[in-house]
Amino acid sequence: MCKFALLWLFLVALVTFVRSDTPANCTFESIRGAWTFSIGQGGGDNTINCTADFKPVSEYDVVLYFPDVAFDQYGNQGRWTLIYNQGFEVRINKKRFFAFSKYTQDGKKVTSYCSQTFPGWVHDDDERNWACYSGQKKGDEMPKQHQLHRSEFFNNWKYKSNAEFIQRINKHQKSWTATVYPEYSGMMLSDMTRRSGGRRSADAFPKTARVLPETQKVADRLPKNFDWRDVNGQNFVSPVRNQKTCGSCYAFGSMALHEARLRIATNNTVQKVFSTQDIVSCSEYSQGCDGGFPYLIAGKYGQDFGLIEDSCFTYKAKDVKCITTTCPRYYTRDYYYVGGFYGGCNEALMRIEVAKYGPVAVSFQVYPDFQHYKSGIYHHTELLDRFNPWEITNHVVLIVGYGQDADSGEKYWIVKNSWGETWGEEGFFRISRGNDECSIESMVVGTLPIL
């Protein structure tokens, strides 16, 4: 290749940099401990702008203990949870605090200041009395640096169909089949990355929690197969959609969660489809087409701002400006990580949650082989696609049921994807259950709708 072409490729590569979520990498170790929250003027509502500078008028001390207990300076006990490696939420003294962890980014160099937060939001449990706040951890914590991955260089590569890769997958194992998706040909690798959740800044999936004997007993009494698409002939799962090449899987997974839970709570009499574009364009709890997390969207955004119907702000698959609407809003009553906090989940708890309360939004790791899933029970094969440089991404989807294959005995989750109805098993896939396949049993979110 001539020098000029190389230079051109390099420049374009810089412009189309794909990242996912925020690039911060703040884990339990760096967040647990004693914090001072500096809080601005209270009495606001959810139109408060915490991106602008605010003047602290009071200080509030909390200590965060591993994994989920918080105490404040008055001795009140509350709870907290980490949200992946992005930030943390504290619920204490009838208030909810949430802020993203602080970071700076200079090209590929990311510095995480995990002992500080960006300005965040605090309000009473009943949504009144909003204020901005920021957190500062006591004691010295060194900023952590890491480099983003080098291979954004490949973003401008076009995907090349690789029949040989598909054949290898299908020869290697019999649980699932891979297929060629003609629509991938000519897609930019950067778009395929975005569609799968965006390049991750770090592997921060928690390990699954130990299954307590009481939990196991409850799980053992559940039906062997359960599917919200067919409960005595009724379907409580809203139609499969297509996120296209925007990194909005978290918005689709979150809306799908609320849609299904609303159907279940109303015995299928309220069948709404909610606006994913409203999330992409308007939510400050996520990063538009660059990613986000169901805990903060189906959960916190749904509770603080409410969701509007899709017809009110239809999907554009890109970062367009937020619109103000007078459309009715649908709210989330409560939201939680299954298991109670980030790191508290396991297969038994998930099965109980799904069978008793409804579908759950989950995050998992997408490998190159998954793109080609057609049918069967997926597990990662560790085979590589030599034509298409590819990095592992974090994707968000909705678990709608579980089962066990009558012949092979293989256990699986039934999962709704957001890659259209022609992908996989009519837009769904099944994935191995009980061994935290691709981390799918580690970060699981449930919500309760307000009717």
Ligand X SMILES: *[C@@H]1O[C@H](CO)[C@@H](O)[C@H](O)[C@H]1NC(C)=O
Spatial separation of the C-alpha atoms in residues 346 and 442, rounded to whole Å: 7
**Least distance from ligand X to the Cβ atom of residue 269, Å:** 8
Spatial separation of the C-alpha atoms in residues 311 and 321, rounded to whole Å: 17
85 given a catalytic annotation: no
- Own/partner contacts of 136-140, CB < 8 Å, gap of 24 or more, are 136/35, 136/36, 136/38, 137/31, 137/33, 137/34, 137/35, 138/33, 138/34, 138/35, 138/36, 139/33, 139/34, 139/115, 140/115
Spatial separation of the C-alpha atoms in residues 285 and 137, rounded to whole Å: 22
For 275-324, the DSSP string reads -HHHHHHH-TTS-TTB---HIIIIIIIHHHT-B-BGGGS---SS-PPP--
Contacts of 231 (CB under 8 A, 6+ apart): none
Question: In the bound complex, which residue of the shown chain has the CB atom lying closest to ligand X?
Answer: 146
202 binds ligand X (CB under 6 A): yes
**Least distance from ligand X to the Cβ atom of residue 303, Å:** 19
231 binds ligand X (CB under 6 A): no
Q: Could you say which residues in the range 42-61 bind ligand X, by CB under 6 A? A: 49, 51-52
163 binds ligand X (CB under 6 A): no
Strand 77-83, strand 411-416: pairing: unpaired
Residue whose CB is less far from ligand X, 49 or 435: 49
Contacts of 57 (CB under 8 A, 6+ apart): 39, 40, 41
For 328-341, the DSSP string reads --B-EEEEEETTSS
27 binds ligand X (CB under 6 A): yes
267 binds ligand X (CB under 6 A): yes
**Least distance from ligand X to the Cβ atom of residue 291, Å:** 15
Residue whose CB is less far from ligand X, 241 or 263: 263
In terms of Cβ atoms closer than 10 Å to its own Cβ (0-12, 13-18, 19+), residue 219 is: middle
Q: Which residue out of 25, 379, 417, 438 is catalytically annotated?
A: 417
438 given a catalytic annotation: no
325 binds ligand X (CB under 6 A): no
Q: Could you say which residues in the range 386-405 bind ligand X, by CB under 6 A? A: none
Residue whose CB is less far from ligand X, 16 or 145: 145
**Least distance from ligand X to the Cβ atom of residue 24, Å:** 9
232 given a catalytic annotation: no
Q: Which residue out of 26, 50, 246, 249 is catalytically annotated?
A: 249
Spatial separation of the C-alpha atoms in residues 50 and 37, rounded to whole Å: 14
25 binds ligand X (CB under 6 A): yes
Residue whose CB is less far from ligand X, 49 or 271: 49
Residue whose CB is less far from ligand X, 235 or 245: 235
**Least distance from ligand X to the Cβ atom of residue 31, Å:** 11
**Least distance from ligand X to the Cβ atom of residue 262, Å:** 14
Q: Could you say which of 32, 79, 91, 146 contacts ligand X (CB under 6 A)?
A: 146
Looking at the DSSP assignment, which residues form a beta bridge with residue 428? 416, 425
326 binds ligand X (CB under 6 A): no
Active site (catalytic) residues: 249, 395, 417
Q: Contact positions toward ligand X, by CB under 6 A?
A: 25, 27, 49, 51-52, 146, 201-202, 267
